[in-house]
């Protein structure tokens, strides 16, 4: 079952506000992965835990909604 | 805030001289006055720190027909509203005190009065008609209440030292209490470190009458089922939290007939409470801070920033390792427990600063880290769970760097560290997953215990906290389970006691804690876990709620755990002689708690390094040995008790129905 869309939107909005632009991108991706897994009850693969995926709000939204 | 004590006797009238000795040992808790009541079955004593109705609130206090007497320590912050409700129900009041509200509330509602109280209390009620003693303690055990039995009597008091005024009370350390301390950092009520002495559990009421002794809970912290939290919107929850915290802070600042100050640590929690008081009340605010001579522990920069922003009159005290060692015997005498950290000592010095400035009440940020998930232990648990979902993942292993930035500079150590940190004793089904690393690393200290004591600990065993987790807790969020464990172990037994109330009351200062307000706690418990710990961002909802009152530099700074110089305090060149004397082979053998040889090795290591750069475990070992030896020396060997008793001034209330003497 995919997470509640309203919850996803809210978590992504709040996560974006906390993003630290100057931090190590890989660590920021891990920080975001912890947040998403805990808040949305999903489990990400190592491929998902990637700055290119988790550093891009639109890509994150697609990932957690399970859309390409 | 006050000291209370009492005796209920089954073999003749209670000994009035004993009661007065018990009161004398509570003189520091109540320097403003004292009083007692005695009949043929019971005696109540009281030493008073006058804060509300300073003119009329002397204790013990009674109802209209003098059949119900009370000795009360603490504050009922909603007493004004309760008094109105009770007046509407026909009760009449002779004083303006919250104490009298308790008397009438008990008459009106019986034990159901306690859930109605929003406050911090330890109370004894004596119903002479029913020959019934009722003891009650607040929800988190902010105020202490101990009891013991002697042949023919039950004794109770705010502090253990008061019970020891009776020579019939056994003086011995309890292996089960030491076992708990060397696991959880403190005992868990009703356990204490003294054999035969118990403490009333927080949120409980005890009754002693013709049917015997019984205790029951009137309140316990509970959390909703994971995912079933009533409000999922973060903004809505932040607004609700703000509303309740503002009211909690206002109540604690305004409901006092003496001036109230505030602590400012430089962190988020005390900044919020001080800012709220400043913003929502008209009274000038006086703030107090603790600083350290060591730069890595000092938060003076942030304290000054906040004090300047609020325009408070600000005072601070700078504490060095030498200061810690100097006051440590006093600290232990007041804490009445072994300590694994020296952190209470600077707080003892801070409350002295408050008192020296003429204040006897302070508002502090205590409780926020437990109620809103601020501690590293919660973040560590989340990272361990993240790693455990795929232990083979190289990416997940790096998560530890988010907790410990130094690892990024030592990548070679990371895989080994990750295995030991993440993997040790890790079971995702374990309800105490969050706390196992702390408990395991603390339990190592038991290796220093003497062979006899180790054997006794093995035989008796400490009660298992995990086994007492509430039914249904398996459906809570893992963060809620971790919060329950933290509130049940460290909050009541150490943070509020050894490091909190006892260090304040040592200098006759009352602490008030808005984050432990009934309504704040009950709201916080219903919040989704992600609103408290958002990913690894601690106290997220609190930051959202008060972002306009706290400067960004404090709002966004990583949490700095409160730490004081530990082992290093006891290895300075000018350390006091007692350190060597109490850790000598002779003293260790006399006490029988620790094995002398490994302690000698530990102390030699400390002397070599001056206590610098010792491991966390060695720091705890030194503190455990030094403080436990002080506990033994002070309470078991009974040194210099007479010097610690205060000569009480003439009582304000003296009612003796045995001799028919009375004055009040």
- Condensed to tens digits (0 to 9), the pLDDT of residues B579-598 reads 999 999 999 999 999 999 99
Q: Which band of pLDDT confidence, cut at 50, 70 and 90, is reported for residue B505?
A: very high
- Here the tokens at position B423 are 């993997």
Q: Which band of pLDDT confidence, cut at 50, 70 and 90, is reported for residue B405?
A: low
- Cβ contact (<8 Å) for B535 and A43? no
Residues of chain A with C-beta less than 8 angstroms from the C-beta of B390: 43, 46
Give mean pLDDT, residues A17-43. 86
| Stronger pLDDT, A28 or B214, i.e. the higher one | B214
Q: What is the pLDDT of residue A65?
A: 76
Q: Which band of pLDDT confidence, cut at 50, 70 and 90, is reported for residue B406?
A: low
Chain-centroid distance of CA B209 in Å reads 29
Residue B213 has pLDDT above 60, yes or no: yes
Residue B546 has pLDDT above 60, yes or no: yes
Q: Which H or E run includes B101?
A: helix B98-109
Query: What are φ and ψ of residue B302, in 5° steps?
Result: -75, -35
Q: What is the pLDDT of residue B404?
A: 75
| Nearest to B94, CA basis, from B133, B130, B64 | B64
Q: What is the pLDDT of residue B487?
A: 97
From residue B491, alpha-carbon distances to B129, B368, B440, B497, B519 in Å are 38, 11, 19, 8, 18
Give mean pLDDT, residues B2-23. 96
Q: What is the percentage of chain B residues whose pLDDT exceeds 70? A: 96
Distance from CA of A68 to the nearest CA of B (A): 23
- Cβ contact (<8 Å) for B535 and A34? yes
- Cβ contact (<8 Å) for B393 and A46? yes
When CB atoms are compared, the residue of A14, A27, A34 closest to B382 is A34
Domains detected in chain B: 2-220+652-663 (3.60.20.10), 234-372+492-555 (3.40.50.620), 376-482 (no CATH), 567-637 (no CATH)
* Among the ranges given (A30-39, A40-49, B422-431, B612-621), the one the predictor scored with the smallest mean pLDDT: B422-431
- Cβ contact (<8 Å) for A18 and B534? yes
* B401: nearest CA partner in chain A: A27
Q: Which band of pLDDT confidence, cut at 50, 70 and 90, is reported for residue B407?
A: low
From residue B501, alpha-carbon distances to B159, B341, B347, B416, B511 in Å are 11, 16, 10, 41, 7
Q: Which band of pLDDT confidence, cut at 50, 70 and 90, is reported for residue B56?
A: confident
Interface of A with B in 1-60 (CB under 8 A): 6-7, 10-11, 14-15, 18, 24, 26-27, 29-35, 37-39, 43, 46, 49
SS3 B169: coil
When CB atoms are compared, the residue of A6, A18, A33 closest to B537 is A18
Distance from CA of A13 to the nearest CA of B (A): 11
Residue B611 has pLDDT above 80, yes or no: yes
- Cβ contact (<8 Å) for B383 and A32? no
Residues of chain B with C-beta less than 8 angstroms from the C-beta of A64: none
Q: Which band of pLDDT confidence, cut at 50, 70 and 90, is reported for residue B640?
A: low
When CB atoms are compared, the residue of B389, B402, B530 closest to A30 is B402
Distance from CA of B400 to the nearest CA of A (A): 10
When CB atoms are compared, the residue of A15, A31, A43 closest to B402 is A31
* B234: nearest CA partner in chain A: A10
Residue A2 has pLDDT above 80, yes or no: no
Residues of chain A with C-beta less than 8 angstroms from the C-beta of B536: 31, 34-35
Q: What is the pLDDT of residue B558?
A: 79
Give tens-digit pLDDT for B228-257: 999 988 999 999 999 999 999 999 999 999
Residue B313 has pLDDT above 80, yes or no: yes
Q: What is the pLDDT of residue B281?
A: 86
Interface test with A, best of B407, B535, B547 (most A CBs within 10 A): B535
Every domain of chain A and the residues it spans: 5-65
Rounded to the nearest 5 degrees, what angle is found at the Cα of B189, between the Cα atoms of B186 and B192?
60
Burial class (CB in 10 A: 0-12, 13-18, 19+), B410: exposed
Per-residue buried b or exposed e for B573-592, using 16+ beta carbons within 10 Å of the residue's own CB: eebeebbeebbbeebbeebe
Can you point out the beta strands (E) in B196-277? Answer: 197-199, 204-209, 212-217, 261-263
- Whether residue B283 lies within 8 A of chain A, CB to CB, comes out as no
Q: What is the pLDDT of residue B472?
A: 94
Residues of chain B with C-beta less than 8 angstroms from the C-beta of A26: 395, 398
Q: Mean pLDDT in chain B?
A: 93
- Cβ contact (<8 Å) for A14 and B386? no
Residue with tokens 């859930």: B115
Q: What is the pLDDT of residue B470?
A: 95
pTM over 0.90: yes
How high is the ipTM of this complex?
Answer: 0.92
Give mean pLDDT, residues B78-91. 97
From residue A22, alpha-carbon distances to A18, A25, A28, A29 in Å are 12, 8, 10, 13
- Cβ contact (<8 Å) for B234 and A14? yes
Distance from CA of A67 to the nearest CA of B (A): 23
Q: What is the pLDDT of residue B401?
A: 84
- Cβ contact (<8 Å) for B534 and A14? yes
Q: What is the percentage of chain B residues whose pLDDT exceeds 90? A: 84
- Whether residue B563 lies within 8 A of chain A, CB to CB, comes out as no
Give mean pLDDT, residues B41-57. 91
Q: Which H or E run includes B286?
A: strand B286-292
Q: What is the pLDDT of residue A3?
A: 72
Distance from CA of B297 to the nearest CA of A (A): 25
Burial class (CB in 10 A: 0-12, 13-18, 19+), A58: exposed
Q: What is the pLDDT of residue B663?
A: 74
Q: Which band of pLDDT confidence, cut at 50, 70 and 90, is reported for residue A1?
A: low
Angle between helices A57-65 and A25-40 (to 10 degrees): 40
Burial class (CB in 10 A: 0-12, 13-18, 19+), B182: buried
Residues of chain A with C-beta less than 8 angstroms from the C-beta of B534: 14-15, 18, 35, 39
Q: What is the pLDDT of residue B412?
A: 59
Give mean pLDDT, residues A29-47. 92
- Cβ contact (<8 Å) for B396 and A30? yes
d(CA B122, CA B141): 8
């Amino acid at each position: 079952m995919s997470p509640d869309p309203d919850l996803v939107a809210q978590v992504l909005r709040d996560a974006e506000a906390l993003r630290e632009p100057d931090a190590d991108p890989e660590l920021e991706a891990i920080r975001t992965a912890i947040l998403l897994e805990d808040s949305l009850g999903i489990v990400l693969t190592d491929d998902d835990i990637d700055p290119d995926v988790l550093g891009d709000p639109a890509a994150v939204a697609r990932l957690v909604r399970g859309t390409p | 805030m006050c000291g209370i004590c009492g005796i209920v006797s089954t073999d003749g009238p209670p000994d009035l001289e004993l009661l007065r000795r018990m009161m004398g040992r509570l003189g520091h808790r109540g320097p403003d006055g004292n009083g007692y009541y005695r009949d043929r079955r019971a005696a109540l004593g009281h030493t008073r720190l006058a804060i509300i109705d300073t003119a009329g609130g002397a204790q013990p206090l009674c109802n209209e027909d003098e059949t119900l007497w009370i000795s009360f320590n603490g504050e009922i912050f909603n007493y004004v509203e309760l008094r109105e409700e009770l007046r509407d129900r026909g009760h009449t009041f002779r004083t303006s005190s919250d104490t009298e509200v308790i008397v009438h509330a008990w008459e009106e509602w019986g034990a159901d009065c306690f859930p109605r109280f929003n406050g911090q209390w330890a109370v004894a009620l004596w119903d002479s008609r029913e020959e019934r003693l009722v003891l009650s303690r607040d929800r988190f055990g902010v105020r202490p209440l101990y009891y013991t039995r002697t042949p023919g009597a039950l004794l109770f008091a705010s502090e253990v030292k008061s019970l020891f005024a009776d020579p019939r009370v056994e003086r011995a350390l309890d292996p089960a209490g030491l076992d708990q301390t060397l696991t959880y950092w403190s005992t868990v009520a009703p356990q204490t470190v003294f054999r035969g002495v118990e403490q009333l559990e927080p949120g409980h009421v005890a009754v002693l009458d013709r049917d015997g002794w019984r205790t029951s809970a009137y309140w316990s912290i509970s959390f909703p089922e994971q995912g079933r939290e009533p409000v999922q919107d973060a903004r809505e929850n932040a607004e609700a939290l703000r509303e309740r915290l503002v009211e909690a802070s206002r109540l604690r600042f305004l409901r006092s007939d003496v001036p109230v100050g505030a602590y400012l640590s430089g962190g988020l929690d005390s900044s919020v409470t001080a800012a709220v008081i400043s913003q929502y009340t008209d009274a000038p605010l006086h703030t107090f801070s603790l600083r350290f001579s060591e730069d890595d522990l000092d938060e003076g920069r942030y304290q000054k920033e906040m004090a300047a922003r609020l325009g408070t009159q600000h005072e601070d005290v700078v504490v060095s390792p030498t200061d810690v060692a100097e006051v440590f015997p006093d600290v232990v005498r007041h804490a009445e427990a072994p300590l694994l950290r020296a952190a209470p000592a600077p707080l003892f010095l801070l409350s002295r600063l408050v008192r020296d400035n003429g204040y006897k009440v302070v508002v502090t940020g205590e409780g926020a880290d437990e109620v809103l998930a601020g501690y590293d232990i919660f973040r560590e648990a989340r990272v361990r769970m993240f790693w455990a979902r795929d232990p083979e993942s190289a990416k997940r292993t790096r998560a530890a760097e988010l907790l410990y930035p130094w690892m990024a500079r030592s990548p070679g150590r990371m895989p080994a560290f990750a295995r030991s940190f993440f993997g040790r004793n890790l079971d995702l089904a374990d309800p105490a997953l969050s706390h196992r690393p702390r408990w395991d690393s603390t339990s190592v200290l038991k290796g220093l215990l003497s062979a006899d004591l180790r054997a006794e600990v093995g035989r008796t065993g400490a009660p298992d906290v995990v086994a007492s987790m509430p039914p249904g807790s398996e459906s809570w969020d893992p963060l809620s389970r971790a919060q329950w464990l933290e509130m049940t172990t460290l909050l009541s037994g150490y943070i509020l006691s050894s490091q909190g109330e006892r260090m304040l009351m040592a200098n006759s200062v009352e602490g008030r804690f808005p984050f432990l307000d009934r309504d704040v706690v009950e709201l916080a418990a219903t919040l989704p876990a992600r609103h408290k710990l958002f990913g690894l961002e601690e106290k997220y909802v609190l930051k959202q709620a008060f972002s306009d009152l706290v400067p960004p530099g404090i709002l966004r700074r990583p949490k700095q755990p409160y730490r004081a110089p530990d082992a290093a305090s006891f290895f300075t060149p000018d350390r006091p002689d007692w350190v060597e004397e109490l850790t000598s082979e002779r003293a260790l053998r006399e006490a029988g708690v620790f094995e002398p040889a490994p302690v000698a090795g530990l102390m030699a290591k400390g002397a070599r390094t001056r206590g610098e750069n010792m491991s966390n475990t060695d720091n705890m070992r030194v503190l455990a040995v030094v403080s436990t030896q002080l506990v033994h020396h002070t309470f078991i060997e009974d040194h210099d008790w007479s010097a610690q008793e205060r000569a009480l001034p003439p009582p304000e209330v003296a009612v003796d129905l045995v001799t028919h003497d009375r004055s009040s």
